[in-house]
A and B are shown apart, each in its own frame.
Chain A
C-alpha cells in the first residue's frame, strides 16, 4: 500500500480571541510594558505554549483533526459557517501555521482559496494571466505554453488587452478561474470557488474539476453546494465546531449536513451564523417574507411574494454592491436566485441602514419547503452570506388551472406549455 497523498495528524489551530481581528496597537503594548516590563516575555511564552482547553480567550478553530487522503481520492469538506473548513484548508495550504499537530503533503500542491488572488485592476487581462499564474506557482514557460488554452476557456479573448477594472464581474471571475483551472498539481485544495460566474460557466468549471478528478489527482474540496459535493466527491468529512466527523460516503455526508443545517433555523437573523470575506459586524438584520395575504411564510404555487431585506452598518463597505435572494429546496439544491444585478443590472452603495424589497410577481415552484439564502456581494466577491436566513413554504394552488401539480420528485419549476 502506498503512502497517502495527505496525512493529517492531530492538527489543532487556536486563535486568541481579539488577535485575529484586531492588530495589536503600540499604545496597548506601551501601557502593558509600563505596568509590567517583563510581561511581554511571559505573554509570548504563553502564546506559544499555553493553550489549555479551558482558557476563556482562546477559540479553537480546529481541534484534533486527523485523516488521510489517498491518491486519487476526492474529499469533500462540508459543514456550517465557522466549522473550521476554511481554516483547515489554510493550514493545508501553509497559509496559517497549526498550533499543534502535523500534516504531510506528498506531491505538488496548488491551493485555490479565492479566484484571482493578486489580480490587479489596473493591469490588462493578459498581464493578469501572467501575474496570477506566477502567484499560483506556475513557471513563466508553463504559462506561455498554456496561455491560449487559458484564454479560450475564459471566453474573454476579445478583451485580453483591456484593463481588468473595465471587465464585468463575470468576465473577471471567468478569467481568474481559467488561470487556476490550468494548474497542474498532484494535490489540489479548493475552497468554494466554483460558485462563480453564470450557470453555464459554473457547469464548465464543474466539468473542468471532473477532468482533474479523472486524471487521478487528489482533491480536497470545500463547498456549501451539496450538488457540487454529490457530483465530485468520493468521500466526505463533516466538520462541526472545529472537529471532523469520521470519513463518510457521499450520501451519508450530505444527509448529515442537511440534518445539522435545519437545527439552527430558529435563531433570529442577526444572530445566525454567516460567512464574510472580511471580518465585519453582521450586516443582514432582518428578512421579512410577504405574500398577497400579508406577512407569511406560506406562498401559493405561482403566487406573488415579497422579500424585505434589512441591512445595517455597512456604510464602510466599498464598491457597487449587489444583493441576491436565493431559494434552495430541501435537498440543499439552489433553485432560483433573485439578484439585483443579474435580473435588473442594479447595484447600490453601502449605508447605515437600508431595506430592499424584492418583488417576485410569480413563484412557480413545486410545493415544498425552501430555504432562503441571502448574499451581499461587491461585484467580485461575496461580502456577507447567510444561508437559511429564512424559510418559505410553497403550498398547493391550482397554478395550471386544471387541478393537478407535479410533485417535488419529478421537477422543481412549474412552467406552462402547450401540447397539440
Chain B
C-alpha cells in the first residue's frame, strides 16, 4: 500500500528578510472576500439608512467645504467654468479613501486581536480588507458624483464639461489603491508595535486634509509678494505622498493643469510605501500574537 502524501508545514523561527507568501494568499483568497463583506455589512448594519451614509457623508463634507470656499473667496482661485462643488468633490473622493486607509487601516489589526492571537490566517488580509470595503464606499460615492457632474453640465448648458482626461481615472485609481495599501500595511503593523499611534492617527488625517490641499485649490501655494515677484511653494507638496494623487484626480475630472512632478513623486511614494509597508509588516508579523 502506498502512503498517501501530505502537505508538509514546517514551523521554525524565521530570520532576516521574510517574503510574502503569495501562494498562500491566493489559496485563501475567499477569506479576503469574506472579510471585506464583513466590514461592509457591519458598517451599515444598524444604521437605518444603511449604505445611504456612504453617499451622504462625503456629500455633506462637500457642501460644507463649498460654502466655506465661497464665503472665504477660495473659489475665485479656480480657473475655467468649473463649479466649485465639483472641484472640491473631485479631491474629496480620493481623500476620503486615503482617510479610511489611514484611520481604519491603522486600527485594523488592533481591533481584530482575536484573529491574531487565536487563529492562524494570512494576516495581511486584515488591513487589505479595510481597503476592500473602502473601494465599495468609493464606488457608491462615485455614482453620486457622476450624477452631480451631470446636473452641473445641464445647469450650465454645457459650459462646464468634465475633462476628457477622465479616461485616466482607472490608472489613477490603481495608484490610489497602491499607496493606500502601502500606508495601511505600515500603519496597521506600527499600531500593534506602538500603541501611541492610536492617538496620533486622528491628527494625521485631520492635518492631512489641509496639507494635501483637498478642501482648497493648490493655487494658494503660489505666493505673490508686495513687489510683484511670485514664489511657488507647490514643489513642497512632493513631500506629501498623496498630494500628487489628489491633484491628478482634479486634473482628470475638471481639467486643472497637471502637476507632473507631484504625480511622479506620488508614484514613487506609492511604490516605496507598498514595498516598505509590506516589508515592515512581514518583519514584525511573527511577533503580533506575542504582543496583541
- Per the bound structure, the CA–CA distance linking A105 and B23 in Å amounts to 18
Inter-chain contact B6/A135, CB cutoff 8 Å: no
Expressed in whole angstroms, the minimum distance between the Cβ of B23 and any Cβ of chain A is 15
Question: Does A109 make an interface contact (CB < 8 A)?
Answer: yes
Inter-chain contact A117/B13, CB cutoff 8 Å: no
Contact A2 to B196, CB < 8 A, known contacts A96-B289, A118-B119: no
Inter-chain contact B9/A105, CB cutoff 8 Å: yes
- Per the bound structure, the CA–CA distance linking A19 and B112 in Å amounts to 19
Expressed in whole angstroms, the minimum distance between the Cβ of B10 and any Cβ of chain A is 5
Which among A23, A117, A131, A136 is the interface contact of B114 at CB below 8 angstroms? A117
Contact A103 to B42, CB < 8 A, known contacts A27-B196, A117-B118, A131-B34: no
- Per the bound structure, the CA–CA distance linking A392 and B137 in Å amounts to 61
Inter-chain contact A23/B193, CB cutoff 8 Å: yes
- Per the bound structure, the CA–CA distance linking A331 and B52 in Å amounts to 61
- Per the bound structure, the CA–CA distance linking A109 and B147 in Å amounts to 51
Question: Does A98 make an interface contact (CB < 8 A)?
Answer: yes
Inter-chain contact B120/A95, CB cutoff 8 Å: yes
Question: Does B76 make an interface contact (CB < 8 A)?
Answer: no
Inter-chain contact B114/A118, CB cutoff 8 Å: yes
Q: How does the 8 Å CB contact mask read for B271-292 relative to A, with 1 for contact and 0 for none?
A: 0000000000000001101110
Inter-chain contact A94/B120, CB cutoff 8 Å: yes
B46: chain A residues at CB < 8 Å are 122
**What size tier do the contact residues of chain B reach?**
35 or more
Expressed in whole angstroms, the minimum distance between the Cβ of B112 and any Cβ of chain A is 8
- Per the bound structure, the CA–CA distance linking A117 and B120 in Å amounts to 11
- Per the bound structure, the CA–CA distance linking A222 and B96 in Å amounts to 47
Expressed in whole angstroms, the minimum distance between the Cβ of B282 and any Cβ of chain A is 12
- Per the bound structure, the CA–CA distance linking A19 and B7 in Å amounts to 34
Residue in B15, B30, B46 whose Cβ sees the most chain A Cβ within 10 Å? B30
- Per the bound structure, the CA–CA distance linking A113 and B120 in Å amounts to 10
B33: chain A residues at CB < 8 Å are 134, 140
Inter-chain contact B11/A102, CB cutoff 8 Å: yes
- Per the bound structure, the CA–CA distance linking A320 and B33 in Å amounts to 33
Q: How does the 8 Å CB contact mask read for A1-20 relative to B, with 1 for contact and 0 for none?
A: 01001000000000100011
Q: How does the 8 Å CB contact mask read for A132-169 relative to B, with 1 for contact and 0 for none?
A: 00111101100000000000000000000001000000
Q: Which of the 9-residue segments A73-81, A85-93, A284-292, A404-412 touches chain B?
A: A85-93
Which among B12, B42, B115, B291 is the interface contact of A123 at CB below 8 angstroms? B42
Identity of the chain B residue whose Cβ is nearest the Cβ of A49 in the assembled complex: B15
A19: chain B residues at CB < 8 Å are 290-291
Inter-chain contact B11/A26, CB cutoff 8 Å: no
A residues with CB within 8 A of B: 2, 5, 15, 19-20, 23-27, 29, 48, 90-109, 111, 113-114, 117-118, 120, 122-123, 127, 130-131, 134-137, 139-140, 163, 186
B residues with CB within 8 A of A: 3, 6-15, 28, 30-31, 33-35, 37-38, 41-42, 45-46, 112, 114-121, 192-196, 286-287, 289-291
13 new A-B contacts, CB < 8 A, other than A120-B38, A131-B38, are: A91-B11, A92-B11, A95-B117, A96-B290, A98-B13, A104-B8, A107-B6, A118-B112, A122-B45, A123-B42, A127-B38, A134-B33, A139-B30
**What are 18 residue pairs bridging A and B, where the CB atoms are less than 8 Å apart in the complex?**
A29-B194, A90-B289, A93-B119, A95-B119, A102-B12, A104-B8, A106-B6, A106-B9, A107-B7, A109-B9, A111-B120, A118-B112, A131-B34, A134-B31, A134-B34, A137-B121, A139-B30, A140-B33
